[in-house]
Amino acid sequence: MQLNTLSVHHLSELMGKKEVSSEELTRFYLEHISRVEDKIKAFVTLTKEEALARARAVDERRARGEELSPLAGIPTAAGDNICTRGVKTTCASQILYNFIPPYDATVAGRLKGAGAILVGKCNMDEFAMGSSTENSGYFATSNPFDFDAVPGGSGGGAAAAVAAGEAAFALGTDAGGGIRQPAAFCGVIGFKPTYGYASRFGLISHVSSLGQIGVFTRDMTDLALILNEICGHDDKDATSASVDVPDFRKSLVNDVKGLRIGLPGEYFGTDVSPRVAAKVREAIVKLEELGAVCEEVAMPHIEYAPAAHYIISSAEASSNLARFDGIRHGLRVEAEDVLTMFKKTRGQGFGEEVKRRIMLGTFALSAGNYEAYYVKALKVRTLVKQDFDRAFEKFDCLLTPTSPATPFKIGEKAGDPVAMYLSKVYTMPANLAGVPAMSLPFGLVEGLPVGLQLMARHFDEGTLLRVGYTLEQSTDQTRLKPGLLL
Amino acid sequence: MSRYEAVIGLEVHVELKTDTKIFCGCSTEFGKEPNTQVCPVCLGLPGSTGVLNKKVVELATRAGLALNCEIGTYTWFDRKNYYYPDLPKGYQISQVFRPIAYNGYLDIDVDGEKKRINITRAHIEEDPGKLVHSGGSITSSRYSYVDYNRSGMPLIEIVSEPDIRSGAEAKAYLEKLKAHLEYAGVSDVKMEQGSLRCDANVSVRPVGTTTLGTKTEIKNMNSFRAVQRAIEYEVERQIDVLEDGGKVVQETRGWDENKGITVSMRNKENPDYRCFIEHELPPIELTEEWIEEVRASIPELPDARRRRLVEEHGLPDYDAGVITSSLALAEFFDAALKEFPDAKTVSNWIMGELLRLLNARNMELGESRITPGGLASLLQLIKKGTISNKIGKEVFEVMFEEGKDPEQIVKERGLSQISDQGQLAQIIDEVIAKNPKSVADYQSGKKQAIGFLVGQVMKATRGQANPGVVNSMLREKLGE
Ligand SMILES: [Zn+2]
């Protein structure tokens, strides 16, 4: 049995029927990791011993007849910017190479409480800045469908881990597409909940107002199970929403009849690759066959979203990253006085892309530029939000390609930071508006996955689950397997 | 008269009296071992997010109302970005764009003249940590330690308009500010524990002009008196610089208490704090009703209490001003007055003996052992004639130090006044015998010589003799 292609709910069933123990499952995953990791390089830290100990503890609880969460005993992974108590959390940065948080991110703690087994921390673009995971402070990750291609970013490690069968699901973070774009590139589901729905406590954030913890999964049922665990108010996070969390399994409805789906023309323009656009049209046709009403909608301010996003995220990053100064944690480069120590520590600890954004953000916030850049970007953000509000007056959800193109080659855009940034041009608007958004695999183009993006109203994750589930039930294009799992 | 006038604005940081810090549950208790009251939030550890302590908003609102400010119903926090080792996040959470309180004022009296000092704003912010230098001062230290116990303590920063014209006005304003915040119950306002800190912005300009001169900012002043002295020194210094044809340099200057001078600390090149909204905390929304509830819960403030002492108890305005300058003093007065209903006498003793001893020993009222009830009993003893006013002062000092009951002190030390003529007759005879010259003077018409003789009797009885009785007995014996 190929345990590492099964979804969480299948694995949970198998464990419930005692056909496999959590320890066996975890060993299977760990052995698979040791076989494929030299090709994929999805992890910056592996937690083999802790994982096996936890798996044995879950088996004992199951043997005692305790009622367990569907996530109990399931091997999982998390992006390395999500704090895990006692386990190194480095944001794939040299500046935090030795940082071991004394606390769990609330979301990581909830999964741990549900009995999920953390097998490791995933590689990413340093401090989640990037679109290819080439900007890691340690090494690049490969796309499981093509080892010469990037897995996307910033959460390329976590996406690749799920795609390559190294984890049954994974936590990631999405401030501009850091979950959805790598999910599209690696052929898995990537989901960013509504801003404030899942706690941000313990997320080493570079952009407070845009970033959200989310999840990579293999199917929609798994997604519902995990959202059930990670969503909900947290007293430790002041931005956490106080809204009730429904049982997301109830949204797994195989029916889209009468559902109004908007197709923003701005996402189907000249920058999208024709073969990706064709694949997305195929999905639209499928949804129409199933009874959905698909119509074009105008979102005129979307084109300014990347510029506004770049300013806002860089501005917030320049402030959020100021705490990495060598005083309390992480790297310290000794020097003759404190100012030189700050400079040397940050000079050596941060990579090129991080420095670029810190400088950009510092520039955008500095006296004389503040109004021209930062305040203007906030105004654009408001206009983008209004575009979404207007679209959702008429439509239940919006459908677009997740990325304009399929995964590019490692090194292909490394020298062109703007081109790299624009590979997330379609995912950024949802972060500016704070709406829930999902990338769903839909077939291959030249052997590489294509992602469909679906966006809905605030706190209406249910509609996304419903559309995703219906597509999943009606076509096999949503289940993609890379060669190394065939 | 000087050709120059000083223009002074004060920035006062006041620590709010909460049990826990502004964004986390750490204790705010003063004086604990370094770094024992810290957590991931107030250490700014990666990924830690804080949640606003509601009590801080309430106390800041109370403070704003006590300073006659308007209160904003929709305000938020901003970040001030700068690097310093004691600043754990690399930014300070403050209210830059929308302070919770603004447009307030305090009325002060200096030398009998009343004046209004306007308050620009009072905003909430977090305190950073504290550097502890290995060798006394920052320049003489090879390294420094950081204590983050103070990181995340809730503060309000109260910024005055540059309405202050002298060191004396600055001191009067600070005293008034302290009293208002103390009465409103928002802070301990103890300068020596750092719960009230003051920086002064000082510039001078030729009298009659309206443009502002170049200002300096003075820090490190540890008492109200130091604030006054530092400002007076700095004003003179700036005038001297200008008189010599020089230019005042915009800079931060420290007050050297021992030398009585201000010294240049570092040049201040208009730091750019790159302020922007703090997205990790939602805005503060207050309703008018809630603000009115807070207003209603604020007890009588110093000015109202002062008026009441004048109107209800007939105290002179000056006395009432001194008595109400601190809540502790005002409450001491009220309590003593209940048991000894003679306002002027009670006020005289508080303003005379009590304040004299507190000042001489540099103590707070709470640190002495005197009680309002004790003072009232003492005043009873004087009124009954058991002891003289003079002995009363001696007894008061013992009560201040030891906290004993005055009757017990009088008994133990045998201080009762001697009015018994039989007891006094022998002593008076001896004094007359020993001082023939004074006796002769008196009898030859220099009536004031009797004062010397009374004094000698008082001396012989260690002050216990009833001066009235002694006086009349002497006159009789000397053949009046
Ligand atoms: Zn704390």
How confident is the model over B84-120, as pLDDT tens digits?
Answer: 999 999 999 999 999 999 999 999 999 889 999 999 9
Domain assignment present for B407 = yes
B231 lies in the same domain as B378: no
B260 lies in the same domain as B332: no
pLDDT for residue B446 is more than 80: yes
Q: How confident is the model at residue A436 (pLDDT cuts 50, 70, 90)?
A: very high
In angstroms, the separation between the Cα of residue B51 and the nearest Cα of chain A is 5
Domain assignment present for B401 = yes
Q: How far is the CA of A289 from the centre of ligand 1 (A)?
A: 57
Structural domains counted in chain B: 3
**Is the Cβ pair A342, B83 closer than 8 Å?**
yes
Q: Is A178 helix (H, G, I), strand (E, B) or coil?
A: coil
pLDDT the model gives residue B36: 97
Mean pLDDT, rounded, of chain A: 97
CATH superfamily placement of domain A3-262+394-485: Amidase signature (AS) domain (3.90.1300.10)
**Interhelix angle A22-40/A48-63, nearest 10 degrees:** 160
From A48-52, B122-126, B172-176, B210-214, the region with the lowest mean pLDDT: B210-214
B376 lies in the same domain as B439: no
For residue A120, the 8-state DSSP code is E
Distance between CA atoms of B92 and A46, rounded to whole angstroms? 36
Q: How far is the CA of A222 from the centre of ligand 1 (A)?
A: 37
pLDDT in tens, B42-93: 999 999 999 999 999 999 999 999 999 999 999 999 999 999 999 999 999 9
Residue where one domain finishes, among candidates B413, B445, B470: B413
Residue where one domain finishes, among candidates B290, B318, B352: B290
Mutate: best of B83, B274, B275, partner A, most A CBs <10 A:
B274
pLDDT for residue A277 is more than 60: yes
**Is the Cβ pair B49, A96 closer than 8 Å?**
no
pLDDT for residue A91 is more than 90: yes
CB B434 within 8 Å of CB B447: no
CATH of the domain at B426: 1.10.10.410
Distance between CA atoms of A59 and A463, rounded to whole angstroms? 36
pLDDT for residue A183 is more than 80: yes
Among A7, A69, A136, A154, the active-site one is A154
CB < 8 Å to A321, chain B? 90
The predicted model gives A26-48 an average pLDDT of: 98
Distance between CA atoms of B144 and B11, rounded to whole angstroms? 27
Q: Which residues of A fall below an 8 Å CB-CB distance to B?
A: 81-83, 89, 91, 96, 99, 101-103, 105, 200-205, 208-209, 235-239, 315-316, 318-319, 321-325, 327-329, 338-339, 342, 362, 365-367, 370, 374
B179 lies in the same domain as B325: no
**Is the Cβ pair B89, A323 closer than 8 Å?**
yes
Q: What percent of chain B has pLDDT over 70?
A: 99
Tokens of B35: 């770094």
**Is the Cβ pair B279, A239 closer than 8 Å?**
yes
**Interhelix angle B406-413/B372-384, nearest 10 degrees:** 50
- Measuring CA to CA, which residue among A283, A200, A291, A279 is closest to residue A253? A291
A212-217 sheet: strands from edge to edge: A43-46, A117-122, A75-79, A169-174, A212-217, A189-192, A437-445, A448-456, A397-401, A260-264, A293-297
Contacts of A373 (CB under 8 A, 6+ apart): A311, A315, A363, A364
Q: Is A310 helix (H, G, I), strand (E, B) or coil?
A: helix
The predicted model gives A202-209 an average pLDDT of: 93
Tokens of A56: 């044995």
Residue B372 phi, psi dihedral angles, 5° rounding? -60, -40
B68 lies in the same domain as B120: yes
**Is the Cβ pair B281, A238 closer than 8 Å?**
yes
Is A154 noted as a catalytic residue in this protein?
A: yes
Q: How far is the CA of B19 from the centre of ligand 1 (A)?
A: 12
The predicted model gives A390-402 an average pLDDT of: 98
Q: How confident is the model at residue B408 (pLDDT cuts 50, 70, 90)?
A: confident
Q: How far is the CA of B21 from the centre of ligand 1 (A)?
A: 7
Q: Which residue of A has its CA nearest to B85?
A: A327
Residue A143 phi, psi dihedral angles, 5° rounding? -80, 125
Nearest to A203 among B47, B83, B90 (CB): B47
Q: How confident is the model at residue B269 (pLDDT cuts 50, 70, 90)?
A: low
Q: Tell me how crowded residue B12 is: count the other CB atoms within 10 A of its CB.
A: 24
Q: How far is the CA of A410 from the centre of ligand 1 (A)?
A: 43
CB < 8 Å to A313, chain B? none
Domain assignment present for B347 = yes
B201 lies in the same domain as B160: yes
Q: How far is the CA of B130 from the centre of ligand 1 (A)?
A: 15
CB A349 within 8 Å of CB A330: yes
CB < 8 Å to A204, chain B? 46-47
**Is the Cβ pair A201, B276 closer than 8 Å?**
no
B214 lies in the same domain as B310: no
CB B264 within 8 Å of CB B217: no
Distance between CA atoms of A143 and B127, rounded to whole angstroms? 47
pLDDT the model gives residue B426: 85
pLDDT for residue A52 is more than 90: yes
Predicted complex ipTM exceeds 0.90: yes
Q: Which residues sit opposite A191 in a β-bridge?
A: A215, A438
CB < 8 Å to B46, chain A? 83, 89, 91, 96, 99, 101, 204, 323-324, 329
pLDDT the model gives residue B99: 98
- Count Cα atoms within 13 angstroms, Cβ side, for A13: 8
pLDDT for residue B221 is more than 80: yes
Tokens of A293: 């009403």
B226 lies in the same domain as B327: no
Cα separation values, A429 from A206, A437, B137, B210, B293, Å: 17, 10, 52, 51, 43
Domain assignment present for B38 = yes
pTM: 0.91
Domain that holds residue B306: 300-413
**Is the Cβ pair B46, A101 closer than 8 Å?**
yes
The predicted model gives B391-395 an average pLDDT of: 88
CA end-to-end span of chain A, whole Å?
A: 12
In chain A, the largest separation of any two C-alpha atoms, in whole Å, equals 71
Nearest to A316 among B44, B85, B279 (CB): B279
pLDDT the model gives residue A200: 96
Contacts of A455 (CB under 8 A, 6+ apart): A388, A397, A398, A400, A430, A435, A436, A437, A438, A464
- Measuring CA to CA, which residue among A438, A441, A406 is closest to residue A283? A441
Chain A contacts in chain B segment 270-329 (CB below 8 A):
272, 274-276, 279-282
